Amino acid sequence: MNRVPTFITAPSRNRSLVALSYIVTVAFWYHSLTSLVYEHDNNVLSSPGRVMASGTLLHDNRISLSLYNRTVKEAAESYYTRFSEPAPYLCRAEQGKQNLSPTLQKYFNFIASIHTDLKIIFIGDSISAQFAQAFDSAALDVGQEDSVRAKDTMSVTSPDVVCMSISSPIRGGGVSAFWRVTNLLLKENNRWPAHCAWVTKQHWNEGQALTFLSHEYNSTKLVMPSNAEYNQNSRTSTEFWQQKKLASIKTGNVNVVNTFDAAIMRLPHGWLELDYMNNATRINEAIKTTYRVLGATTIVIPTLPLYNNVKSENDWKKIDQINRLIREVARDITESVGDIQYVLVQEFGNLTNQVLVENAKNLNLISHVRDIDYAQQSWEVDFANVFLQRPTKTTKQWPPSHAQVCSSLPSNEAKACPGVKISPDGMHWCVETFGARFTASIACLLGCVYNVARPTHEGVKMCEQRCNDQFMSLAMVDVKG
């Protein structure tokens, strides 16, 4: 399959046109802000002292990203759903979901593939699982999963719900993992047993973390700590699991994961009260626990989008407050001296909210001529009355917003609206639509740290802004081909 030349148009508040070819190397975002000069010549991206050809990683570029034109990519519709479980989260025509309007679809005209030697773990609920599975799809060649992907599931639906998964190695030699935790990684939630749960909040245990760290490459089985180990060692003893982890690492076995470079830590909004999450001390502890039990020195936290359990304007304001808090905590930890090097923010809420506004225009819930300044902080708060418009007659306890799930509004309020490829249910998101931008964003953000020889706090934060402006907003990614 041929790669196509790629041109990325920067967002309106950053007017420069960036030309890239074949592989979009995330190092660009950082170095373009530090006065390095790039030139575009013969399908090679180069800068002083650097040359990268198609299909290769520079010696100090630990993650790279290839973009393809969605219209010419084979099976683009299912590209990000190879591992999607369970089926109700899918957004295909057979699930009754219609395509985005042309005014929206133009922003989702590409798909991305990943090449990295980084070890990355996604932590959170079923939304985290969706995008971890999308990331696996972008980082594994077709058929490769048969020999490198392991998972643990629970049988509550058909197919099963994934509790833990790990793919090692992925394209480039790295690792991609998912850990279902529907609570924060706090000491108070460290309990035994910590079985994967569906209808109740799931606690966690350090033995689960050790399962990932001791996982062998090219294995399709997850080996959990035995019940005897739990029973004999006070069940939640941090010291025991820490010693066991250190013993595993000291063996020098290069065929096991041993530690993670980065964690994508989503606050499991659907399972926790808003006031519980709106607490800097808890978020800080969850970040530090993630480092302690998994070794990740870079943490990425997505901001929260709209969900169907946001019931009121006051709830929506609390979502905004939590997102502000995430940014503050990320900045404070990144600027401090400690084991955790960087906490980055992925502005996922900003992207989805912009999509909802544009879909609301298509539904005539907002004037098409209304000028909206997406660069203004907390702009979303003013749209609570639009986002909270829901069916007046519904049997659902948590009805979704019209802007989330409707391609048009029915004339009869008693009827369900035709679906759209934004959200299947008002809680989850259509990875068929959002998978490329989410995956590209993660690669871009991690490149801010790992593709730079000597990253600075200021440079990383500027790079973070550029990544979010490009992939976590409705900025065009014009893939030529």
Q: What is the DSSP string of 238-274?
A: HHHHHHHHHHHHHTT-TTB----SEEEE---GGGS-H
Cα distances (Å, whole numbers) of residue 147 to 141, 221, 456: 11, 10, 39
What's the pLDDT at 413?
A: 72
**β-strand partners of 51:** 46
What's the pLDDT at 60?
A: 62
Q: Is the pLDDT of residue 170 over 60?
A: yes
Greatest CA separation for the chain? 67
Q: Is the pLDDT of residue 408 over 50?
A: yes
What's the pLDDT at 229?
A: 61
Contact 445, 34 (CB under 8 A): no
Q: Is the pLDDT of residue 11 over 50?
A: no
Cβ neighbours of residue 289 under 8 Å, at least 6 residues apart?
185, 186, 187
Which whole number is the average pLDDT over 198-207? Answer: 75
pLDDT tens string 271-318: 899 999 999 999 999 999 999 999 999 999 999 999 988 999 999 999
What's the pLDDT at 263?
A: 98
Q: What is the dihedral of CA 364, 370, 371, 372, to 10 degrees?
A: -50
d(CA 43, CA 46): 10
Enter the pTM of the model.
Answer: 0.86
What's the pLDDT at 251?
A: 58
Q: Is the pLDDT of residue 475 over 80?
A: yes
Q: Is the pLDDT of residue 52 over 50?
A: no
What's the pLDDT at 39?
A: 27
The token pair at 22 is 């074949």
